[in-house]
Amino acid sequence: MMPMKAIVKEFERTNKNKISLIFGSSGKLYAQIKNGAPYQAFFSADQVKPKILCNENIGLKKSLFTYATGRLALWSSQKNMVTNDFSILSNLNFNKLSLANPRLAPYGYAAKEVLIHLNLLKTTRSKWVQGENISQAYQFVYTANADIGFIALAQIMKNEIISKGSYWLVPENFHSPIYQDAVLIKKSLLGRRFFDFFKTQKVKNILKSYGYSL
């Protein structure tokens, strides 16, 4: 959410047109687009849904590109609660574990893969609190409705600094890559300009500062 707001702000500094951002789970936004929502571009947290839109002749195939690779983190809003490993998970030293719904959200699916990798799926399941998307998963932890949660690193990092609490950066080989694709929905001069801008080094630097891999 924050990286996109920063990118749009930078884009609008040199463009007269304004861009309106609509946030939601990738699955819900895909459904809205398929049902005719008047969006001009779709930035998904996965690769699947933009490609489906292209196969359905809703997305413009030539515009499809991977804009970032997401990083998953286990986070607590409390200092020193999460050490630089997964010991808090294996010790079950927490009340609730927040994660996005694995069936709806790519980050949730990745979180489930991590728990399978660590052989902790069954032992932790009774403590799960599931959000519809990664934003809700973050909110559960931020509001102390969950002690810890699997969230996107970009939600807690800005200018390569963690904003609050303690975290463990999940190794990328613990789950499938979270490749994130974007696609234009309509032929739009503004959309093409924004996509061109998104591929510049300036945007790459912004994404890196929020913890994305490129």
Q: Are residues 79 and 167 in the same domain?
A: yes
CA gap 138, 188 in Å, rounded: 33
Question: Does 78 reside within a domain?
Answer: yes
Q: Cβ(54)–Cβ(183) under 8 Å?
A: yes
Q: Are residues 160 and 202 in the same domain?
A: no
- The average pLDDT across 106-132 equals 96
> pLDDT digits over 46-84, tens only?
999 999 999 999 999 999 999 999 999 999 999 999 998
Question: Does 214 reside within a domain?
Answer: no
> pLDDT digits over 166-212, tens only?
999 999 999 999 999 999 998 888 999 999 999 999 999 999 999 89
Q: Are residues 137 and 95 in the same domain?
A: yes
Domain containing residue 108 = 71-174
> pLDDT digits over 31-41, tens only?
999 999 999 99
> pLDDT digits over 124-166, tens only?
999 999 998 899 999 999 999 999 999 999 999 988 888 889 9
Q: Are residues 112 and 21 in the same domain?
A: no
Q: Are residues 27 and 113 in the same domain?
A: no
Q: What percent of the chain has pLDDT over 70?
A: 100
Number of domains comprising the chain: 2
CATH code where residue 32 lies: 3.40.190.10
Model confidence, pTM: 0.85
Q: Give residues with Cβ within 8 angstroms of 137, minimum separation 6.
A: 98, 99, 100, 105, 107, 108, 130, 131, 149, 150, 151
Q: Are residues 190 and 113 in the same domain?
A: no
Q: Are residues 93 and 151 in the same domain?
A: yes
Question: Does 165 reside within a domain?
Answer: yes
**1 pLDDT above the threshold of 70:** no
Q: Are residues 63 and 89 in the same domain?
A: no
